[in-house]
Every structure is written in structure tokens, then in C-alpha cells.
Amino acid sequence: MERKILWLISFALIFTLWLKIESISKLNEKSASHTSSGQMSDQQSSEAEEAASLQDQANLSGESSAEEKDYFKKHPVTAKTPDFAAIQDVNERKKAFFSFLKPFVDEKNTQILQQRKRLFSLLTMLKKGDSLSAKDKAWLSDLRSSSGLDKVDNPKASDIKDLLNYIDIVPSSLVLAQAANESAWGTSRFATDGNNYFGQWCFRKGCGLVPESRDDGAAHEVRKFNDARESVFAYIDNLNQNAAYKKLRAIRANLRKDHDPITGLALVHGLDNYSQRGQAYVDEIEGLIQYNKLWRFNTQNTPKVSVN
């Protein structure tokens, strides 16, 4: 009898969890299917504004770096943005959404891994007692500055180790889940009119789209990007640089230390500050990852160099 009761309790708990994930996914699908006019829901707008305010707290400029601008100019995006609102079948819309954004995530993460490889190489040189070139020192100094760290004229091994916590990949599963949530599966006004899939702000007049719900006296705009790739790149930079996501970077650093894969299901617990909804928002993003099996989009490619 006791064994039967325990089995029934376990079944009830599993069924309740399944219903929660199911409801989260349907909520997002419903949101996407009813935003063909390009308007974000009040909830999504609030979350986007909270994320942007946190970016402002981190003193981020909201602009692409000169290096990225040069890269974008040399490597223009050729993929045409799908009309997601016109895709009536929910599964087909999801497939188109993931297929469209995933290459940009891979592109950015590849760049980050190249930076990490260079950091490991410079770290090895310092451990051997070799001197760094002026070019390498300038690169390290600029990288530390963009990460919110003090510039250094003569970097030490510890200065490079600090950078490794900021210069690291963000798994596709997390990027795609947040993009789906924040842009209503690519149908929000900010996504269709501004290629902004994450609700990022800017603070120069004319730099973006003026939110319809903006408070009187507020000067921010929702940043307008040239294409979806720029939005993805800026979002990953935000998670890597913003002081609000220190917890996320700490989780990722511990995964590296333990030689475990970096996953969205792990890093999502560092998004407490992304929305005023706190843990409820974290649970929602986690549910999106689980329900849509977004971990299947993750790729791992780690330089095999010790930093100890």
C-alpha cells in the first residue's frame, strides 16, 4: 500500500511539472499568434525595459564596438528575415525562428572562442616569462575596458584570468529562448521594425524606436539594429559585460572549472535581474528551453588549456 501511495505521489508531481511547461509554451505561442501588428505585450515591454535599465547601470554604451562595426561592414548579412507573423503553423514558425537566429549565435560564439584561444596563448607566454608585444597589451587593455575592468599597461597572468570569466560563450539554447520570449517569436514591433530581439535600449535621440509606454520625461529608446545579427551580438555582449549578470558568469566559470558543458539550463539561473519578475521569469525561460528541447542547438568547443 505504501509503495502504491508513493508511486501515485511521484506521478502527480511529474504530471504537474508537465502541465506547467505545457502552459508556458502555449502562453508564448498565443502571444506570438496575437501580435501580428508588431506590438509587444505589456509584460514583454516591461521585461525589455528592465533589461535595458540594468544595461544602463553597467555603463554600457549601447553601441557596437569599432571592431564589430568593421566586422559587420566586411561581412554583411545576406539572409532575409522571415515574416514570422505570416507563418500560421506554430511548429513551422518555431522552426523558421530557430533556423534564422542560430547561425548568428554560432558566429558570435566562434569569435568569442577565438578570443579565448588568444587569451590562453598570451597566458602561456607570461607563464614562460616571455614579454607581450605592444599590440597584445593594447588588445588586452581594450578588452578589459569593454568588460568593465580597469585597463593595465603591463598585464599579469591574473589580469588575463579575470578576462576569461567575461570572454566566454552563451549557449544557443539560452539565446533562442530569450529571443522567443522577448520578441514574441519575432513578431513584436521592436523585432520587425528595429531588428531588436532582446529589448535593448539606447540613449541617443533617434538611435531607435520610442516605446509607446515610455514615461513622461524619459529619454531612452529601444535600440534599432541594422539586422538580427547585430541584436544577437549585442545581447551576448550584454550578458558577458553587464554587472547585473555577475551570477551568470560565475555559474559559467564554475562549469569551466569542473570541465562540465555550458548549458542554457545552467546559466538561466543567473538571469534573476533580467526582469522585474525575477524567479518567475527564470522559470519561464527554463520552461521554454525544456519544452522546445533547445539544448539540441548547443555546441561545445573549448580550448584545451589549463588556467591554473
Q: What's the one-letter identity of residue 207?
A: C
Averaged over 205-226, what is the pLDDT? 81
Q: For residues 217 and 188, which has the higher predicted lDDT (pLDDT)? A: 188
For position 300, what pLDDT does the model report?
58
Average pLDDT of the residues of the chain? 80
Question: What's the half-sphere exposure (Cβ side, CA atoms, 13 Å) at 248?
Answer: 28
Distance CA 76, CA 157 (A): 36
Question: What's the half-sphere exposure (Cβ side, CA atoms, 13 Å) at 91?
Answer: 1
Distance CA 155, CA 126 (A): 9
What's the CA dihedral at 176, 87, 77, 271 to 10 degrees?
-20
For position 287, what pLDDT does the model report?
97
Tens digit of each residue's pLDDT (9 = 90 or more) over 117-176: 999 999 999 999 999 999 999 999 999 998 999 988 899 999 999 999 999 999 999 999
Distance CA 217, CA 274 (A): 23
How far is C-alpha 34 from the geometric centre of its chain's CA atoms? 25
For position 149, what pLDDT does the model report?
92
Averaged over 179-207, what is the pLDDT? 91
For position 265, what pLDDT does the model report?
97
For position 65, what pLDDT does the model report?
66
Q: What's the one-letter identity of residue 189?
A: R
Which helix (H) or strand (E) segment holds residue 274: the answer is none
Lowest mean pLDDT among 51-55, 201-205, 278-282: 51-55
Tell whether the model's pLDDT for residue 245 goes beyond 90: yes
Cβ pair 222, 211 in contact under 8 A: yes
Please tell me whether residue 73 adopts helix, strand or coil conformation.
Answer: helix
For position 294, what pLDDT does the model report?
96
Per DSSP bridges, beta strands 201-202 and 208-209 are unpaired
Full 3-state SS string of 25-62: HHHHHHHHHCCCCCCCCHHHHHHHHHHHHHHHHCCCCC
Tens digit of each residue's pLDDT (9 = 90 or more) over 59-101: 344 566 666 766 776 666 767 899 999 999 999 999 999 999 9
Distances (CA, A) of 113 to 6, 33, 167: 47, 37, 8
Q: What is the pTM of this model?
A: 0.77
Cβ pair 298, 264 in contact under 8 A: yes
